[in-house]
């Protein structure tokens, strides 16, 4: 397995499990029946859980782009040191993004998002040149 595919797997797993903490908060705040149902006036989640939910949505949206780029690069045989490093950086930037978004640290949230975005651009550049 290439480094890119390994980190694509790690990014997918991170995205797959990052909903668990905010769902636990939902159950804690609303109770199990309302957490799995559609209450008319649901209790609001804790602020950290609201931010984590938004970070998770952002992760899902960006996983589509990252996965497409990694799979295209793999399919056409673009397996460079730059793509490997970009995938590693992307994973750690997304993990940091999840943490700082949940903690409500605005400048670091934007910085970690930008680092991940530049990683995507790096992979795209390697594909196109």
Select 3-18+47-128's CATH number: 1.10.287.3510, 1.10.3720.10, 3.40.710.10, 1.20.120.550.
Answer: 1.20.120.550
For the segment 62-71, what is each residue's pLDDT rounded down to a tens digit? Answer: 999 999 999 9
pLDDT at 124: 98
pTM of the model: 0.94
pLDDT at 27: 96
Q: Are 98 and 18 in contact (CB under 8 A)?
A: yes
Distance from C-alpha of 48 to C-alpha of 25, rounded to nearest angstrom:
9
Q: Are 69 and 61 in contact (CB under 8 A)?
A: no
> What's the whole-number average pLDDT of the chain?
97
Domain ranges of the chain: 3-18+47-128
pLDDT at 88: 98
Distance from C-alpha of 59 to C-alpha of 19, rounded to nearest angstrom:
10
pLDDT at 3: 97
For the segment 15-57, what is each residue's pLDDT rounded down to a tens digit? Answer: 999 999 999 999 999 999 999 999 999 999 999 999 999 999 9
């Amino acid at each position: 397995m290439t480094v890119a595919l390994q980190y694509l797997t790690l990014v997918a797993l991170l995205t797959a499990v990052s909903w668990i903490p905010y769902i636990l908060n939902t159950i804690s705040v609303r109770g199990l029946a309302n957490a799995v149902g559609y209450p008319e006036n649901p209790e609001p989640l804790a602020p950290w859980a609201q931010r984590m939910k938004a970070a998770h949505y952002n992760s899902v949206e960006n996983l589509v782009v990252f996965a497409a780029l990694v799979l295209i690069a793999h399919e056409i045989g673009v397996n460079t040191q730059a793509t490997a490093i970009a995938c590693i950086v992307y994973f750690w930037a997304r993990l940091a993004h999840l943490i700082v978004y949940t903690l409500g640290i605005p400048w670091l949230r934007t910085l970690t998002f930008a680092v991940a975005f530049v990683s995507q651009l790096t992979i795209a550049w390697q594909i196109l040149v």
